[in-house]
Structure 1
Amino acid sequence: MPSLASLQTTTMKTLPFLLPLLLIVSLIPSSFSRALSDSEFAFIARRQLLHLHQNDDLTDGYESNVKLNFTFENSGIRRAYIAFQAWKSAMYSDPFKTTQNWEGPKVCDYGGVFCAPSLKDPKLTVVAGIDLNHADIAGYLPVELGLLTDLALFHINSNRFCGIIPKSFSKLTLLHELDVSNNRFVGPFPKVVVSIPSLKYLDLRFNNFEGELPSELFQKNLDALFLNNNRFASYIPETLGSSPASVIVVANNKLSGCIPNSIGKMYNTLNEIVFQNNNLAGCLPMEIGMLGNVTVLDIASNNFNGVLAKTFKGLGKIEELDVSNNMLAGFMSDDVCRLPGLKNFTFSYNYFNGEAESCLALKGKDIVIDDIGNCIPDRPKQKSPSECQPVVNRPVECSKSKCGGPKPNPPSTPKPIDDDPYDQSPVNRQRPPLPPPVVKPPVHSPPPPVYSPPPPPPVYSPPPPVLSPPPPIVRSPPPPVPSPPPPLVHSPPPPVPSPPPPTPERKVNLPPTIGFKYSSPPPPMFPGYS
C-alpha cells in the first residue's frame, strides 16, 4: 500500500478539529436534530464552516503533486483514485461498510462507483457515477472531489455528511444529477451548483441550508429543483418565471413575500410546484391561471389573502390543488370545482363564505373536496361568525394590490369591472356575504341622506352650490357617539385584521406523491451518459 501522506495533507489538517463535532452531531437522534433551535443550529453551523474552510478550492495541477506508486489505466482513473482516497479519509463512520473495498488502483470496482467510456474518447474508461444513497456514512466532502471531471451523476442522499458543497464542484462540467438530500449540510445556498453547466436535476432537500435564494438559480436550465425542508429565508426571486423546470418544491422553509407574477411564463414546462408551509403572503397572482400543464399546485399553510382569480379556470390539467390554511376569502366558483382533471381539492381553514353547488355535488364522485374551517353557511365544521365577520365583510381588493394583482390601468383608460380577474360581484355568486351585526340606530339620529337631496342647512350656513356635495355628515347634525358607521362604505376598506392562526398544526409533511418520479432514481448504466 503506498504512502498517502502527501494526498491527505489537506484533509487531515481539518480532521482533528472536525471529528469531535461530527461525533456529537452523529449521536443526536434524527428526530431531535430536526428540532434544534435556531441558536443551537447557528452554533453548529459556525463550527462546521470554521473548520471546513469555505474558500478552499483545488489549485491548478493539484494531482501532479501527489506521488503514487500505482500504475493506472489512464489519467482520469488516477485522478479518481486521488479523490476517493481523500474522501475516504474524510469519512469517520461507515456502518454498512460501503467503502470498505476503496483500496487499490481499480476504482471502477469500488462500492457505489460506476464507470463508462469517456465522452471525449470512448476507448478510455472513466468514473461516470457515484451512488452512495442510504449508506448512513458520516463525514464531509473534500475539495479533491473536483478531480472527478467525468462525473455525470452524484447521489449521496440519506447519509450524515455535513459542512458545505466544495467550490471545486464547479469543475464537474459534465455533472447532470446532484442529489445531496437528507444530510446535514449547512451554510448559505451553495452557489457553486449554479456554475455547473450541465446540471439538470438538483436536490438539496432535508438539510440545513439557509439565507437567500439566488436569482441565477431560476435562470439555470434545470428540469427538477427540490429545496424543501431547509432554512431558506428570503423573497422568491422574480426570475422564478425564467425557470424551465417541470418540478419545483420549496416547501417547509421560511420564505416570505409574494409569488412573483412571472410564474405565468412557465406555462409550457411546469408540471408540479409546491410552496407549502412558508411565510408567503399577499394575493395569488392571476398569472397562475396560465399554467395549463400543471398537475400539482400546493400553496397550503401560508398567509395568502384575497380571492381566487377567475383565471384559475385555466388550470386545465390540475389534479392536486391545495390552498388550505391561508386567509383566502370570497366565493368558491363552479369554474374551479369543475376543472376536468381535478382529483383532490382542499380549501379548508380559510374564510370562503360560499361555494358553488357543483363543489358539493362532486363530493364522493372520484374527487376529494375539503371545505371545513371556512365561513360557508349551512356547511359543517365552519368558523364562528365572530371569526368570519372581520375578514368576510372587509375583502382585500387584489386588483389594487401591489402583491399578486395586475398593474392598474392609466386613469384615461379605466378598467371595466367585468374584466377584473378578481371580481366576485353578486351576479357571480350563489350565496351573499355574511350580514353585519344588526344595530338599531338611535331614534334621535336620522339616516344619512344618500340618495335624497340634503336637508336645508341651518340659517347661519349659506346654501351649498348645486353641483357641490352636501356638507359633511359630522356638521349637520352631529351623530351620537355610540352610533357605528354604515357597514358598507365607498372608501377603501381598512386593513384586514390578522385572525388567529388556523387550528391545525402548521408543521406539515409533503405527500409522498410530490415529485414521485424524481425520488432518487437508481444510477443509470451510463451508455453515452444517457
Structure 2
Amino acid sequence: MASLHRKQAYHACFLIILFLFFSLPSLYVSISEVEASYLTRRQLLTLKQHDELPNDFKYKLDIADTFPNERLKMAYVALQAWKLAIYSDPQNMTANWVGADVCSYTGVFCAPALDNPNIEVVAGIDLNHGDIAGYLPPELGLLTDLALFHINSNRFCGIIPSSFSKLVLMFEFDVSNNRFVGHFPLVVLEWPSAKYLDLRYNDFEGEIPSTLFTKEFDAIFLNNNRFNSLIPETIGNSTVSVVSFANNEFHGCIPSTIGQMSNLNQILFLGNKLGGCFPPEIGNLVNLTVFDISSNGFTGQLPESLSGLQNLEILDVSNNELRGSISAGLCKLPKLANFTFSFNYFDRQDTTCVASKGSKKVFNDGQNCLANRPVQKDANKCSTVLKKSVECGNCGGGSSSPGVPSTPEDPYDQSPSPRYRSPPPPVVTPPSPSETSVPSPPPVSSPPPPVHSPPPPVHSPPPPVHSPPPPVHSPPPPVHSPPPPVYSPTPTGLLSTTTSLLSTPTDPFSTTTGVFSTSTGPFSTTTGPFSTTAGPFSTTAGPFSTSTNPLSTTTGLLSTPTSLFSASTCLLPSTTSSISTTSDCISSSS
C-alpha cells in the first residue's frame, strides 16, 4: 500500500515538473517584457537634472487610435507621461486626458503650426490654480511647439527638467507658487523667444546667472525664493519693463549700470540684504513708475537725481538706515502718489513732504529723526546714529533699522493664492486702452508685465503680449502677458485696487498678420484673459492668467514665507538622483 502511494507521489511530481518545463519559456518571455517595460519607464523617470531625452527616443503607444500628425503623437506621449507623474489632482483637471485627441484635453490648447498652417500642434498649456501635486517628467521636452506654459498655484515639486531646453519656442513661462527647488533653471536661457519669466514663490536658491539680463525678457519675477547672490552688473543690459528681486537674500550694492535700463517701469528690491548708498544713476530711469528698496541696509542720502523721475508714482525706501533731508524736488514729482520713507534716520524734510488736508498724495515719515513730527525715534538714538560717518562702500546690507518694533505693511504684499491671507493691494490706474482692449472687471492689481514684441515666426504660435503702461511708448503687440501695475493713491493711505489692467479680448495665438487670430478661440475672452483681482502682478481669470502676487507674505512686509511652499521635505534633489516621490512632496500646503 505504501509502495502505491509513493508511486502516485512520484507521478504527481513528474507531471508538475513536466508542466513547469513547458511553461518556462512563456513565463520567461512574460517576465522579460514586463521587466523591459519597467526598465524603459524608470529610465525616463530617473533622468538626472542634466540628462536629456535620448535622440532615438521611442515610446510604445497603448492605444490603437491614429493621430493627425507626428507632433500630436509626441504631444500625446508627453502628456500621458505627465499624467503618470501627477499624484493628486483634486479638481480632476487631467481626468479627460484620455485618447488621441490631445487638443480636447483640459488645459491644453492647440493652434496651427507657424511653419505649416495645415497642421495643428499643442501650443499652450494652462493648469493654473489646479492644486495639482506631482513633478515635471522629461518627456515634456517633446512638446517642441509649446509657446505658453502656465502652471502657477499648484504643488509641483522637484526640478525643471533639462529636456525643457528643447522648447525653443517658449514665450511665457510661469511656474510660480509651487515647490520647485534647486539652482536657477538654466534652460530658460536657451529659449530665444522668451519674454515672460515667473519663478516667484518657490524654493530656488543660489546665484542668478549674469546672462539672464542679456536676454530680451520683458518681465522677470524672482521674488520669494532663496536666491543669495549679488545683483549682476549685466542688469544694465536688460530690456525688462518689470523685474522683482523681492524677499530673497540678495546682497551687495545696487550696480550703477541700473541707470541704463531704458525700458524699466517697475523694480522691486525689498526684503533683501542689500546695502551701501544709492547710485545716482537711478535718476536716469525716466520711465520708472514704481521703485521699492524697503527693508534692506541702505545708508547715506537719497541722491538729488531722484527728482528727475517725472513718471514715478510709488517710492518706498522705508526700513533702511538712510539719513539727511527729503527734498522738495522729490516730493513735488508730478505723478508721485505714495512716498514711504519711515523707519530711517532722516532729520530734515521740506514742508511739501507733509501731506496737506485733502491731498491725494500719501507721505509716510514715521520713525525718523524729524523735529515737530509725530511718531519719531528717540532723540538720543538719532544722535548716536547720525554722529557716525557714512560708508557708501559698505555693501553688506542687512535688515531694517535696529529697534524697529514692527514693519509697516507692504503695499504690494498680497497672498499669491487664495489659500493665504493677503493685505490690501495698491490702487491701479488702468493704462490707455488699445484698439483690442476691453474694460476688465474690478478689482485688480497687475502681475505679469507687458511683452513688447510677438515671438518670431517659428514653429508654434506665439503667446499674447499686453501693451505696456502709458510711460512706455512701444505699441501694444498681441500677446496676453499681463502688464505691470500702474499705481494711483487713495485718500486713506492704503493702496487698494479698484480697476483691472490691460485685459484684451484677443486670443493668445493671434498675431499682427492674423495667422492665428480667431474670435472664438480657446484663449479668447470678453472680460480679458489677464484680468486681475487682487494684489500687484496677480491675475486669476482667463486660460493663461498668472495668479500669484510677487510680494505676498503671510506676516507682513519683512517676512518671507519659509514654509508656505517649502521644498525641504520634498525629496527631489536638484543635482543628483532620480525623481523620487514622498508623501511630503505631494502633501497639500496648509
TM-score, normalised via structure 1 length: 0.70
Mapped pair 1:83 → 2:84: no
Compared CA separation, residues 499 and 144, structure 1 to 2 (3 A): closer
Compared CA separation, residues 363 and 326, structure 1 to 2 (3 A): farther
Output aligned runs, 1:390-429, within 5 Å: 390-396=384-390, 398=392, 401=393
Distance in 1 separating the partners of 2:355 and 2:91: 54
2:272 equivalent among 255, 269, 278: 278
**1:526 maps to which residue?**
509
Structure 1 residue 70, shift from structure 2 partner: 3.0
Compared CA separation, residues 96 and 9, structure 1 to 2 (3 A): farther
Q: Is the 8 A contact 1:277 1:506 kept in 2?
A: no
**1:502 maps to which residue?**
404
Mapped pair 1:382 → 2:344: no
Mapped pair 1:235 → 2:233: no
2:95 equivalent among 89, 92, 100: 100
What whole-Å deviation, never above 9, does each CA across 1:153-202 have from its counterpart, x for those lacking one?
00000000000011011111111000000000000111111111111000
Structure 1 residue 141, shift from structure 2 partner: 0.2
Compared CA separation, residues 150 and 224, structure 1 to 2 (3 A): same
- Count of residues paired in the alignment: 397
Structure 1's unaligned 5+ residue stretches are: 16-50, 405-497
Structure 1 residue 325, shift from structure 2 partner: 0.3
Distance in 2 separating the partners of 1:284 and 1:308: 7
1:178 equivalent among 165, 173, 185: 173
1:371 equivalent among 357, 361, 365: 365
Distance in 2 separating the partners of 1:52 and 1:95: 27
1:249 equivalent among 244, 248, 253: 244
What whole-Å deviation, never above 9, does each CA across 1:415-471 have from its counterpart, x for those lacking one?
xxxxxxxxxxxxxxxxxxxxxxxxxxxxxxxxxxxxxxxxxxxxxxxxxxxxxxxxx
Q: Is the 8 A contact 1:363 1:369 kept in 2?
A: no
**2:353 maps to which residue?**
359
Give SS of 2:354's match: helix
Compared CA separation, residues 52 and 336, structure 1 to 2 (3 A): farther
**1:162 maps to which residue?**
157
Structure 1 residue 71, shift from structure 2 partner: 1.3
What whole-Å deviation, never above 9, does each CA across 1:15-65 have from its counterpart, x for those lacking one?
7xxxxxxxxxxxxxxxxxxxxxxxxxxxxxxxxxxx762223111131467
Which AA in structure 2 matches 1:116? A
Distance in 1 separating the partners of 2:356 and 2:36: 70
**1:203 maps to which residue?**
198
What whole-Å deviation, never above 9, does each CA across 1:135-163 have from its counterpart, x for those lacking one?
11100000000110111100000000000
Give SS of 1:100's match: coil
Mapped pair 1:258 → 2:253: yes
**2:556 maps to which residue?**
none
**2:288 maps to which residue?**
294
Distance in 2 separating the partners of 1:80 and 1:214: 31
Distance in 2 separating the partners of 1:80 and 1:227: 29
Which AA in structure 1 matches 2:316? D
Distance in 2 separating the partners of 1:357 and 1:4: 81
Compared CA separation, residues 190 and 373, structure 1 to 2 (3 A): same
Q: Is the 8 A contact 1:259 1:285 kept in 2?
A: yes
1:324 equivalent among 315, 318, 326: 318
Distance in 2 separating the partners of 1:66 and 1:338: 68
Distance in 2 separating the partners of 1:217 and 1:369: 36
Distance in 1 separating the partners of 2:38 and 2:117: 32
Structure 1 residue 390, shift from structure 2 partner: 2.2
- Flag the structure with higher helix content: 1
Compared CA separation, residues 4 and 308, structure 1 to 2 (3 A): farther
Compared CA separation, residues 85 and 110, structure 1 to 2 (3 A): same
What whole-Å deviation, never above 9, does each CA across 1:225-262 have from its counterpart, x for those lacking one?
00000011111111111110000011010111011100
Distance in 1 separating the partners of 2:357 and 2:214: 41
**1:146 maps to which residue?**
141
Which AA in structure 2 matches 1:287? E
Compared CA separation, residues 364 and 254, structure 1 to 2 (3 A): farther
Structure 1 residue 12, shift from structure 2 partner: 4.4
Compared CA separation, residues 509 and 379, structure 1 to 2 (3 A): closer
Greater relative contact order, per chain length (Cα 8 Å cut-off, separation 6+):
2
Structure 1 residue 499, shift from structure 2 partner: 5.9
Q: Is the 8 A contact 2:320 2:401 kept in 1?
A: no
Output aligned runs, 1:29-108, within 5 Å: 53-63=48-58, 69-108=64-103
Distance in 2 separating the partners of 1:239 and 1:376: 38
Compared CA separation, residues 362 and 221, structure 1 to 2 (3 A): farther
Compared CA separation, residues 385 and 225, structure 1 to 2 (3 A): same
Mapped pair 1:516 → 2:446: yes
Distance in 2 separating the partners of 1:318 and 1:11: 55
Q: Is the 8 A contact 2:276 2:391 kept in 1?
A: no
Structure 1 residue 8, shift from structure 2 partner: 7.5
Give SS of 1:518's match: coil
Which AA in structure 2 matches 1:502? V
Structure 1 residue 121, shift from structure 2 partner: 0.3
Name the Cα RMSD after superposition.
2.7
Which AA in structure 1 matches 2:260? K
Distance in 2 separating the partners of 1:310 and 1:258: 19
Give SS of 1:97's match: coil
What whole-Å deviation, never above 9, does each CA across 1:449-503 have from its counterpart, x for those lacking one?
xxxxxxxxxxxxxxxxxxxxxxxxxxxxxxxxxxxxxxxxxxxxxxxxx962522
Distance in 1 separating the partners of 2:166 and 2:145: 10
What whole-Å deviation, never above 9, does each CA across 1:256-277 have from its counterpart, x for those lacking one?
10111000001x2000000010
Q: Is the 8 A contact 1:8 1:89 kept in 2?
A: no
Larger mean Cα displacement after TM superposition, 352-361 or 98-107: 352-361
TM-score, normalised via structure 2 length: 0.63
What whole-Å deviation, never above 9, does each CA across 1:303-329 have from its counterpart, x for those lacking one?
000000111111110001000000000
Q: Is the 8 A contact 1:57 1:167 kept in 2?
A: yes
Q: Is the 8 A contact 1:301 1:506 kept in 2?
A: no
Structure 1 residue 505, shift from structure 2 partner: 3.7
Mapped pair 1:218 → 2:213: yes
Which AA in structure 2 matches 1:526? F
Structure 2's unaligned 5+ residue stretches are: 1-32, 414-424, 429-444, 450-480, 483-502, 518-590
Structure 1 residue 9, shift from structure 2 partner: 5.3
Distance in 2 separating the partners of 1:113 and 1:119: 18
Compared CA separation, residues 10 and 391, structure 1 to 2 (3 A): farther
Distance in 1 separating the partners of 2:179 and 2:300: 38
Structure 1 residue 299, shift from structure 2 partner: 0.3
Q: Percent of counterpart pairs with the same letter? A: 54
Q: Is the 8 A contact 2:287 2:309 kept in 1?
A: yes
Which AA in structure 1 matches 2:177? N
